[in-house]
């Protein structure tokens, strides 16, 4: 049996962070682990704050050859020199954005627990599909993306898949052979030492 590739790490920023301290915390994590992609997921619509956050994180990410995508704010991708966009509403805009942003931009789509939505986004040109949450959370309606969804996707669809939302070490162990990426955010940023928290979370990967 062929050895399964180890899933890659996809970091997600907190929805709120202090530009005076967060870049240093982020840099420590980027230097401690191999990160494939970083998502700027700032809450709210303060254009200036989002732009300043993007400028600070772009330097850190690009200095380490890490792609930086922004959540939903499509018009900021080219203006801020980012690598692409992560859409939180499934397949709806993927086809249009692929045309607008061109073939080199990264376009990802979060599709909740919906196989059909994931297929639509993949067919429309998404570079990856994210499903979640995979763990228990008080947010949303309690629905979860289970191992069977990731198993089906990895067998049937070639577009990479991301597991995200309420990750635990147990969930990492369960999904390690079924997903291409683990998206890690609040799981580590809420801890005093995000590097130690990340190592503990990903310990099942060896």
CA distances from 6 to 193, 194, 204 (A): 24, 21, 11
d(CA 204, CA 206): 5
DSSP secondary structure code for residue 39 in this structure: E
Per-residue pLDDT of 124-139, as tens digits, reads 999 999 999 999 988 7
| Residue count of the chain | 206
pTM confidence score: 0.96
Provide the 10 A C-beta neighbour count for residue 135: 18
Whole-number pLDDT of residue 206: 87
The whole-number pLDDT of residue 4 equals: 52
Has residue 188 got a pLDDT over 90? yes
pLDDT at residue 3, as a whole number: 41
* Domains of the chain and CATH, by start: 8-205 (3.20.20.70)
3-state secondary structure 116-176: HHHHHHHHHCCCEEEECCCCCCCCCCCCCCCHHHHHHHHHHCCCCEEEECCCCHHHHHHHC
Decide if pLDDT at 164 tops 70.
yes
- Provide the CA 124 distance to its chain's centre, in angstroms: 19
């Amino acid at each position: 049996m062929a050895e399964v590739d180890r899933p890659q790490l996809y970091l997600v920023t907190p929805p709120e962070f202090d530009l005076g301290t967060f870049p240093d915390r982020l840099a420590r994590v980027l230097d401690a682990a191999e990160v494939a992609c970083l998502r700027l997921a700032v809450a709210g619509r303060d254009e200036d704050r989002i732009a300043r956050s993007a400028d600070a994180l772009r330097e850190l990410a690009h200095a380490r050859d890490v792609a930086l995508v922004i959540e939903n704010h499509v018009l900021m991708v080219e203006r801020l020199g980012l690598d692409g966009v992560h859409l939180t509403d499934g397949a709806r805009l993927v086809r249009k954005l692929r045309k607008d942003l061109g073939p080199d931009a990264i376009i990802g789509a979060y599709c909740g627990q919906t196989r059909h939505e994931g297929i639509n986004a993949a067919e429309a040109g998404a570079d990856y599909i994210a499903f979640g949450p995979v763990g228990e959370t008080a947010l949303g309606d309690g629905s979860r993306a289970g191992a069977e969804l990731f198993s089906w996707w990895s067998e049937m669809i070639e577009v990479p898949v991301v597991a995200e939302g309420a990750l635990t070490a147990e969930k990492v162990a369960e999904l390690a052979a079924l997903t291409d990426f683990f998206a890690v955010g609040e799981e580590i940023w809420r801890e005093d030492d995000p590097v130690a928290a990340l190592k503990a979370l990903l310990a099942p990967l060896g």
